[in-house]
């Protein structure tokens, strides 16, 4: 089931010996651009047509009335409501703790105040249609709330009946989402980026999605801000040895693979016997899964069993892959974690499956995929804020730095830049008080 990669005895670096995900290869860029163009030019009517074409439903009014959200919360199963509340409180507290503060620095009578300003309007994409992800509502809306965003907009695909899952509606109500629209796919990204007759454009778009959604976000970047990195199909690397039960390693590989096609699941180990036992356990677990077909497709196309000489080489492999999720289920896991440079989220020990991070640990489960953990991290409050600098200069401060400004401006051939300093120097020479 898993494709075997044997790096025992291989020379470092391992990068050239590992399959690499090319985020641009095979992406439906031309088709995505055509859909985005239709939405930009056609507005609501184009979105309706595309929704009928791709989701198989005709929807007259995309927006879900606010009272429907509150009714969904009131009618929600009490056990699920309690679980969502637990997750909500933990996630919100974590992100409120990460919220940036204003920062002031004074040098030579020049004061610079760095002020984190939230965007006014954030658009969140929540995958759906045949599945339901209320957790992703929490994991995207709550960082935005903690950042101070005033208007939070959610787009999620309608199901085959043209409806939105009750748990998603309830989670949106719990998180204070102001607008929810039954729009999915590329057309949702286009509607949020460009706006339509019934939806105002947003400032930032966040949230995971399939290759089409991820490509659409790349295409509209610059028109709007795109939060975090390439949040595409799910990935996991499990570094394990005999200290972890084989059934635990196996089910943790399956838990990400069950998201469906396009993802990747790696077992990295230095124990060949253990590797075979985990692979056998995977087969048993998949045979019981209600999502057997989706899981099998992911493991067949993107499942890998990587054998290395020891823990240090396992770390080399992980840093080369730069996975979305990394589970260290081996001896000295915490020590190994200190050597990890590239991963979206790291889970240490046998009691920390990635599912804890998916739902209740606190950080967002919207994480970088396709190797983008080399330069990006999880969705945070920073994705919904920008820094504004307020600069105050006194006469003493101007006298201190003015000559340096003139010198640099003249070196760059920018006459007016230098003249702005000379003009103020003239004030002092002529006794003019501004």
**Residues 108/400, Cβ–Cβ less than 8 Å:** yes
Instruction: Please tell me whether residues 222 and 250 are part of one structural domain.
Output: no
Render 95-123 in DSSP notation, one character per residue. HHHH----EEEEETTEEEEEEEEE-SEEE
Q: Cα dist. 86→106, 324, 353 in Å?
A: 43, 24, 18
pLDDT at 232 over 80: no
pLDDT at 377 over 80: yes
Instruction: Please tell me whether residues 190 and 202 are part of one structural domain.
Output: yes
Per-residue pLDDT band at 227 (split at 50, 70, 90):
confident
CATH number at residue 122: 3.40.50.1980
pLDDT at 334 over 90: yes
Mean per-residue pLDDT for 255-272?
88
Mean per-residue pLDDT for 382-388?
95
Per-residue pLDDT band at 162 (split at 50, 70, 90):
very high
Residue 252 domain boundaries: 3-21+232-362
pLDDT at 229 over 70: no
Question: 4, exposed or middle or buried, with CB in 10 Å at 0-12, 13-18, 19+?
Answer: exposed
CA pair distance 359, 145, nearest whole angstrom:
17
Average model confidence (pLDDT) for the chain?
Answer: 94
pLDDT at 208 over 70: yes
CA pair distance 96, 385, nearest whole angstrom:
13
CA pair distance 358, 352, nearest whole angstrom:
11
pLDDT at 20 over 80: no
What is residue 14's predicted lDDT score, i.e. its pLDDT? 93
422: in domain: yes
Which tokens go with 133? 């992800």
What is residue 22's predicted lDDT score, i.e. its pLDDT? 65
What is residue 131's predicted lDDT score, i.e. its pLDDT? 78
Degrees to nearest 5, angle at CA 251 with 23 and 142: 60
Residues noted as catalytic: 324-325
Residue found under tokens 């003019």:
432
Q: Above pLDDT 90, what percent of the chain?
A: 84
Instruction: Please tell me whether residues 34 and 17 are part of one structural domain.
Output: no
Mean per-residue pLDDT for 67-82?
97
The mean-pLDDT minimum among 75-79, 218-222, 256-260, 377-381 falls in 256-260
Per-residue pLDDT band at 125 (split at 50, 70, 90):
very high
Q: Give the residue with greater pLDDT, 230 vs 403.
A: 403
What is residue 243's predicted lDDT score, i.e. its pLDDT? 95
Bridging pattern class, strands 303-307 and 151-155? unpaired
358: in domain: yes
The mean-pLDDT minimum among 131-145, 259-273, 350-364 falls in 259-273
What is residue 228's predicted lDDT score, i.e. its pLDDT? 67
Provide CB contacts within 8 A for 279, sequence distance 6+.
Answer: 1, 2, 250, 267, 305
Per-residue pLDDT band at 285 (split at 50, 70, 90):
very high
Per-residue pLDDT band at 26 (split at 50, 70, 90):
low
Using N-to-C axis directions, what is the helix angle for 66-75 and 166-174, rounded to 10°? 100
Instruction: Please tell me whether residues 190 and 82 are part of one structural domain.
Output: yes
Instruction: Please tell me whether residues 280 and 236 are part of one structural domain.
Output: yes
Kindly report the backbone phi and psi dihedral angles of residue 250, in degrees, each rounded to the nearest multiple of 5, phi listed first: -65, -50
Instruction: Please tell me whether residues 224 and 236 are part of one structural domain.
Output: no
Quick count: other Cβ atoms within 10 Å of Cβ 23? 18
What is residue 25's predicted lDDT score, i.e. its pLDDT? 62
Instruction: Please tell me whether residues 337 and 416 are part of one structural domain.
Output: no
pLDDT at 129 over 80: no
369: in domain: no
Instruction: Please tell me whether residues 181 and 216 are part of one structural domain.
Output: yes
Bridging pattern class, strands 385-393 and 110-118? antiparallel
Using N-to-C axis directions, what is the helix angle for 29-55 and 185-194, rounded to 10°? 110
Instruction: Please tell me whether residues 81 and 203 are part of one structural domain.
Output: yes
Give the pTM. 0.91
pLDDT at 373 over 70: yes
Structural domain tally of the chain? 3
DSSP letter (8 states) at residue 15: G
Q: Cα dist. 429→410, 424, 425 in Å?
A: 21, 9, 6
375: in domain: no
Helix and strand counts by DSSP (H, E) for the chain = 15, 14
Instruction: Please tell me whether residues 218 and 294 are part of one structural domain.
Output: no
Per-residue pLDDT band at 262 (split at 50, 70, 90):
confident
Read off the pLDDT of residues 180-204 as tens digits, 9 standing for 90 and up.
Answer: 999 999 999 999 999 999 999 999 9
Instruction: Please tell me whether residues 308 and 260 are part of one structural domain.
Output: yes
Provide CB contacts within 8 A for 310, sequence distance 6+.
Answer: 270
DSSP letter (8 states) at residue 394: -
Mean per-residue pLDDT for 271-294?
92
């Amino acid at each position: 089931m898993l494709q075997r990669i044997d790096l025992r005895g291989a020379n470092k670096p391992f990068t050239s010996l590992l399959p690499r995900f090319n985020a641009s290869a095979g992406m439906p860029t031309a088709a995505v651009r055509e859909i985005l163009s239709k939405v930009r030019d056609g507005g609501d009517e184009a979105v309706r047509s595309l929704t009928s074409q791709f989701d198989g439903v005709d929807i007259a009014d995309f927006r879900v009335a606010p009272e429907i959200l509150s009714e969904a919360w009131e009618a929600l199963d009490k056990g699920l409501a309690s679980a969502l509340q637990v997750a909500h409180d933990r996630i919100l507290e974590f992100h409120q703790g990460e919220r940036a503060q204003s920062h002031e620095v004074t040098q030579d009578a020049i004061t610079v105040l760095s002020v984190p300003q939230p965007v006014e309007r954030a658009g969140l994409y929540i995958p759906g249609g045949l599945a339901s992800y209320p957790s992703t509502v929490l994991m995207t809306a709550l960082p935005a709330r903690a950042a101070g965003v005033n208007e939070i907009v959610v787009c999620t695909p309608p199901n085959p009946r043209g409806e939105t899952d009750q748990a998603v509606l309830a989670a949106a109500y719990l998180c204070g989402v102001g607008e929810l629209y039954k729009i999915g796919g590329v057309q949702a990204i286009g509607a949020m980026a460009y706006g339509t007759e019934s939806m105002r454009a947003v400032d930032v778009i966040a949230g995971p999605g399939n290759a089409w959604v991820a490509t659409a976000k790349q295409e509209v970047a610059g028109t709007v801000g795109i939060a975090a990195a390439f949040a595409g199909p799910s990935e996991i690397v499990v570094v394990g040895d005999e200290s972890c039960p084989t059934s635990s390693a196996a089910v943790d590989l399956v838990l990400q693979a069950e998201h469906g096609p396009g993802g990747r699941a790696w077992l990295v180990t230095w124990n060949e016997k253990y590797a075979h036992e985990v692979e056998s356990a995977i087969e048993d677990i998949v045979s019981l899964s209600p999502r057997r077909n989706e899981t099998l497709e992911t493991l067949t196309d993107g499942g890998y069993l990587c054998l290395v000489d020891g823990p240090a080489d396992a770390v080399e492999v992980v840093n080369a892959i730069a996975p979305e999720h990394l589970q260290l289920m081996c001896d000295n896991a915490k020590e190994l974690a200190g050597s990890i440079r590239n991963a979206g989220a790291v889970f240490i020990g046998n009691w920390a499956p990635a599912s804890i991070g998916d739902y209740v640990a606190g950080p967002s489960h919207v994480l970088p995929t396709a190797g983008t953990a080399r330069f990006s991290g999880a969705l945070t409050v920073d994705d919904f804020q920008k820094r504004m600098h307020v600069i105050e200069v006194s006469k003493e401060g101007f006298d201190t730095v003015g000559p340096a400004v003139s010198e640099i401006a003249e070196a760059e051939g920018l006459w007016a830049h230098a003249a702005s300093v000379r003009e103020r120097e003239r004030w002092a020479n002529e006794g003019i008080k501004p």
